Amino acid sequence: KLIESDSDKQIELLDLKEALNSLNDKQKLIINLVYFQGMSQQEVGSFLGVSKQAINSTLKRIYSILRKKLKKN
């Protein structure tokens, strides 16, 4: 069984932090509202004055950016 060391976890966290920092301010806000504040896509859309579909599209774009950044590391 592969055991991940603390240093490996720290590196992964740094990679994730770097990837998140590459997002623009609006993308960071949406990630914060959805994942850390627990808001639904509908609530985020209402808060930002856009549709739920716009939030959904933005999240898909964010996921794509993060996947690409994390694959490089």
Specify the higher pLDDT residue, 71 or 56.
56
Predicted TM-score (pTM) of the model is 0.78
Structure confidence by residue, pLDDT tens digits, 51-69 = 999 999 999 999 999 999 8
Instruction: Output the DSSP codes for 38-72.
Output: ---HHHHHHHHTS-HHHHHHHHHHHHHHHHHHHHH
Q: How many CB atoms lie within 10 A of CB 21?
A: 9
Tens digit of each residue's pLDDT (9 = 90 or more) over 24-54: 999 999 999 999 999 999 999 999 999 999 9
